[in-house]
Amino acid sequence: MQIVRTPGSARAIARTLPRPVGLVPTMGALHAGHLALVRRARSENASVVASIFVNPMQFGPSEDFEKYPRAFEADAEQLEAAGVDLLYAPEAARMYPPGFASAITVGDVSRGFEGARRPGHFDGVATVVAKLFHAIEPTSAYFGQKDVQQTAVIRTFVRDLDFATNIVVAPTIREPDGLALSSRNVYLTPEQRAAAPSLYRAIRAVADAVAAGERDPARACAIGAALVEAPLALEYLAVVDAQTFAPLGEAAGPAVVVAVAAAGTTRLLDNVSIPGPGGVDPIVTPARPRRAFSVSRPKQ
């Protein structure tokens, strides 16, 4: 596995990789959710690139940029063992040199929910993802359903701005008790950790109520909200359109149940799909049949 640190060297080396090329963007502190994306990319591409970049542009001034967990050596070892060909870990100063003055701003889909609570967050996400796409020129890029509004924002600018990269969204990986894996789960106290799975039970209950015929989003969400346990404090719980993130007047699939609960200063973010007619999931990209290309194997 090669490691590169600048956009120019990333592009030069990425252009030598056998195509199709799959890219897995991350902020590091890797867990099984990230590694599932790498495995998916490995099974669908001839080459796999991962990136690790804690992107200052997507953190607000009072957020956890400084204390965000960083574990570069362990991450690099795991990526190499998972068969990644190229690791792009740019320096912030090379991504945002003095005079940097541009951003990608996405419309309504980026304005509600996380966009409303984290001003500028999705501009930072869209801008850095666009920069990663220019550096790596991936055939496909892999994202987790865990950050579902992020996937909707990325799908929107990729479509609007004619990016050639195919966006693949893979299911959320969870702890056995239902808590979605997150690099930020290390911040949880034992008491917060014990209550954390109640958020997943809450969103599942909303999705199940809609599947059972509940059409009123407020009633469906009230069922879920009642399940969230202290010390978690629910910030929002809603049934939204999977593409636009507009709250639905009538709860029916295809849709997404989105929720955030605060555990002290840590925000737990989760969502589940409500399938559309025929059971089609509105978020997750179906796995592609294996293609006939020579897959480079991890070095022993």
Active site residues: 34
Q: Tell me, residue by residue from 14 to 53, as one string, x for binding to ligand AMP by CB under 6 A and - for no binding.
A: ------------xx-----xx-xx----------------
* Residue 126 engages ligand AMP in binding (rule: CB under 6 A): no
Interaction of residue 281 with ligand AMP, rule CB under 6 A: no
Cα–Cα distance for residue pair 7/12, rounded to 1 Å? 9
Among 59, 143, 157, 187, binds ligand AMP (CB under 6 A): 143
Q: Minimum distance from CB of 150 to ligand AMP (Å)?
A: 6
Q: Could you say which of 40, 121, 131, 146 contacts ligand AMP (CB under 6 A)?
A: 146
Residue closest to ligand AMP, measured at CB: 144
Question: Which residue's CB is nearer to ligand AMP, number 125 or number 205?
Answer: 125
Q: How far apart are CA 62 and CA 59, in angstroms?
A: 8
From 40-48, 60-68, 143-151, 271-279, span contacting ligand AMP (CB under 6 A) = 143-151
Can residue 147 be called a binding residue for ligand AMP (CB under 6 A)? yes
- Of 219, 247, 14, nearest in space to 109 by CA: 247
Which member of 1, 41, 180, 234 binds ligand AMP (CB under 6 A)?
180
Q: How far apart are CA 32 and CA 242, in angstroms?
A: 25
Q: Is 131 in the site for ligand AMP (CB under 6 A)?
A: no
Nearest to 283 by CA among 188, 143, 180, 93: 143
Asked if 182 touches ligand AMP (CB under 6 A), the answer is yes
Query: Which of 181, 195, 199, 221 lies at the binding interface for ligand AMP (CB under 6 A)?
Result: 181
Token code pair at residue 238: 């809603």
> Scanning residues 56 to 115, which ones bind ligand AMP (CB under 6 A)?
none
Burial category of 145 from C-beta neighbours within 10 Å (exposed 0-12, middle 13-18, buried 19 and up): buried
Q: How far is the CB of 251 from ligand AMP (least distance, A)?
A: 25
Pick 198 or 271: Cβ nearer ligand AMP:
271
Q: Which is nearer to ligand AMP, 126 or 209 (CB)?
A: 126
- Phi/psi of residue 266, nearest 5 degrees: -90, 130
Give how many residues touch ligand AMP by CB under 6 A. 16
Kindly state the smallest distance separating residue 226's Cβ from ligand AMP, in Å: 25
Q: Which residues bind ligand AMP (CB under 6 A)?
A: 26-27, 33-34, 36-37, 143-144, 146-147, 172-173, 180-183
